[in-house]
Every structure is written in C-alpha cells, then in structure tokens.
C-alpha cells in the first residue's frame, strides 16, 4: 500500500498540473480568438466609415461639377466670355 500512496502522491499533482495547464491554454486561445474577432469588427466599422465618407465627398464633387457645367454652358456666360475676348 505504501507504494500506491507514493505513486498517487506524485501522479495526482502531476495530473492536476496538466489539467490546469490545458484549461489555461484553452482559455488563452479563446481570449485570443475574441480579440481577433473584435479587431475584425473594428476594421469593418472603419472601412464602412471611410467608404461612406468617400461616397459623400464624391457626391459633393459631382454637385460642384454639375454647377460648373451649368455655368459654362449658360449662354450669358458664353456671351460674357466673347465680350471679354473682344476687349
């Protein structure tokens, strides 16, 4: 019986340390996966914000171009240009 207790005295702490190490490693792995998922969500949010900002800026630029085209194609503007050239 003494040998059995000696074996258990060594084996139980070893097995417990292995179990604790496995649990800790799995927990760290889960936390890392959550961090990666969080980073992906943040990156997607930033990409969406940038995309929206670019779309707004393009819309504003297109409105400016339409305004400039309307001015340049206006007959009064063209007539003023001709008069200015004649001076």
- CA gap 17, 9 in Å, rounded: 13
Q: Nearest to residue 15, comparing CAs of 52, 31, 23?
A: 23
3-class DSSP assignment, residue 22: helix
Report pTM. 0.56
Residues 5-32: tens digit of each pLDDT: 888 899 999 999 999 999 999 999 999 9
- CA gap 75, 56 in Å, rounded: 31
Residues 24-60: tens digit of each pLDDT: 999 999 999 999 999 999 999 999 999 999 999 999 9
- CA gap 45, 51 in Å, rounded: 10
**57-61, 74-78, 82-86, range with the lowest pLDDT:** 74-78
Length of the chain: 87
């Amino acid at each position: 019986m003494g040998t059995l207790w000696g074996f258990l005295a060594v084996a139980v702490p070893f097995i417990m340390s292995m179990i604790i190490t496995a649990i800790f490693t799995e927990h760290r792995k889960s936390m890392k996966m959550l961090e990666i998922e969080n980073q992906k969500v943040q990156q997607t949010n930033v990409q969406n914000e940038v995309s929206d900002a670019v779309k707004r800026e393009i819309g504003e630029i297109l409105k400016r171009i339409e305004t400039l085209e309307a001015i340049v194609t206006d007959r009064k503007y063209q007539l003023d240009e001709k008069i200015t050239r004649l001076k």
